[in-house]
Amino acid sequence: MAIAQGIYKTLAYKKQAAKGTPSAGSGGQLLRRESATFKLAKATFSADEITSHMQHTGDSFGVRSADGTVNGVMSAGTQTDFEQAILRADFAAVAPVTGRSITVAGSGPYTLTDSGATWLTSGIKAGSIINLTAGTFNATNLNKNLLVTAVTQTVITVQVVNGSVMTTEGPIASSTVTTKGKKSKAPLTSHTNDYFTIEEFYSNITRSVLYTDVQCSQIDISMPSTGNATCNLSFLGLGQTKSGDQVLTTPTAETTSGPMAAVNGYIMIGGARVVIATSMSLTIDGGITAGESTIGSNTLTDLVKGTIKVSGSFSALYENETIGTMFDDETPVSLVVVVTDTSLAASDFKVYSLGRVLVQSDDPDDGKKQIVKTHSFTAEIDVNGGAALAWDKTILTIQDSTL
């Protein structure tokens, strides 16, 4: 008798055309994981009746729903379908800025200057990673991941993500600045409302468990001081069906991008890098809750969206009062988290950019050790951002290099 084993289970998902239209057949995507658990939940009601026999008269079932979690290592291109779903905006490319005459100056941070440029209105944003992709630049300047720390119409200030040096030169004519990959940000209007079909298929016992009308409700990101960065996904859904046949029959193979390690991380708060950070966590809460139930149906009417909230914490060695002062002064600051898959200058990466966060704690520990302080924070929409300004007008922007 065959018994189901996790190694034989595949986890596939496919975006639905709409609520109530489960996906099937070809297409879909296999999702790599460390673990994944989905289950059907049923409301239960206990009868609290008084009887002469003094014994419980039974329970009854109410509406059904589904929930699940997928725990995995962060990697470029792997969790992006759910990131854009929880932010309610699809990833989109930023058009390259071409035909510029750029001068590279400084010693880290560096500046990219073009007196005739319109960087802000061309879509270059603080908290993004750009590349110099065309022009007769020195090889140390081309195709290198440059984190934008500040931007005006004519000057972009950047830090090299892997810490390597750039060569001062210029002006270099016919240059191109490319925002690498694609970006998604919580929008001001035209919000998407994505539902997914998710299938657990146990190939060694030929059983399929299908979850339908599923939405991503929360994403939890964690970076330890050493080890892999992780990305854990939480889901809510409306239904479950079981069968002996695979439903998502030909899903695309899992992504092959490299796991992202915390040692390749980069944290910037208030425009300055935190080089002594020891851990980092970020939670994106989509505000998804169960909708109303109706008489005569054992399924919920829908999933209901609330406000997108972003919060987290980071810990850092206690060296000075720079971060503590942010807490004391109650002044909103920017926070940017970069994770790459290698230490190379052109590594694949993910960027989580928050233009306005409030540091909410400054808590030290103690012991026969180096003192570490923990700083919690919450994000809010950056009301000072906008289309022709340095930061996006949003609570969170995500950039993925592989899209």
What pLDDT, in 10s, does the model give residues 336-359? 999 999 999 999 999 999 999 999
Residues 152 and 203 in one domain: no
Band (131; pLDDT cuts 50, 70, 90): very high
In the three-class reduction of DSSP (H, G, I as helix; E, B as strand; rest coil), residue 372 is classed as: strand
Query: Can you give the pLDDT at residue 349?
Result: 95
Using the predicted structure, report yes or no on whether residue 300 has a pLDDT greater than 90. no
Query: Can you give the pLDDT at residue 226?
Result: 85
What pLDDT, in 10s, does the model give residues 354-402? 999 999 999 999 999 999 999 999 999 999 999 889 999 999 999 999 9
Write phi, then psi, for 322 (nearest 5 degrees).
Answer: -60, -50
Domain final residue, candidates 180, 207, 236: 180
Residues 238 and 130 in one domain: no
Which two three-digit tokens encode residue 189?
Answer: 């209007």
Domain final residue, candidates 153, 180, 207: 180
- Give a yes or no: residue 42 inside a domain: no
In the three-class reduction of DSSP (H, G, I as helix; E, B as strand; rest coil), residue 4 is classed as: coil
Separation in Å, CA 254 to CA 242, 293, 349? 23, 36, 18
Residues 243 and 323 in one domain: yes
Query: Can you give the pLDDT at residue 277?
Result: 84
- Give a yes or no: residue 45 inside a domain: no
Residues 333 and 211 in one domain: yes
Structural domain count, the chain? 2
Percentage with pLDDT > 70 across the chain: 100
Let me know: does 355 contact 396? Beta carbons within 8 Å.
no
Which two three-digit tokens encode residue 208?
Answer: 């399929």
How much is the average pLDDT of 64-69? 93
- Give a yes or no: residue 47 inside a domain: no
Query: Can you give the pLDDT at residue 95?
Result: 95
Percentage with pLDDT > 90 across the chain: 82
Query: Can you give the pLDDT at residue 214?
Result: 97
What pLDDT, in 10s, does the model give residues 139-159? 999 999 999 999 999 999 999
Residues 118 and 82 in one domain: no
Nearest-angstrom CA–CA distance, 100 and 175: 5
How much is the average pLDDT of 7-17? 96
Residues 285 and 304 in one domain: yes
C-beta neighbour count of 274 within 10 angstroms: 23
- Give a yes or no: residue 20 inside a domain: yes
- Give a yes or no: residue 295 inside a domain: yes
Residues 66 and 137 in one domain: no
Using the predicted structure, report yes or no on whether residue 278 has a pLDDT greater than 90. no
How much is the average pLDDT of 201-213? 95
Q: What is the CATH number of the domain that holds 141?
A: 2.40.30
Band (275; pLDDT cuts 50, 70, 90): confident
- Give a yes or no: residue 223 inside a domain: yes
Residues 348 and 327 in one domain: yes
Expressed as residue numbers, the domain containing 129 is 97-180
The amino acid present at 288, given as its one-letter code, is I
- Give a yes or no: residue 335 inside a domain: yes
Residues 345 and 368 in one domain: yes
Let me know: does 126 contact 147? Beta carbons within 8 Å.
no
Residues 279 and 384 in one domain: yes
Residues 102 and 166 in one domain: yes
- Give a yes or no: residue 199 inside a domain: yes
Residues 164 and 213 in one domain: no
Domain final residue, candidates 165, 180, 195: 180
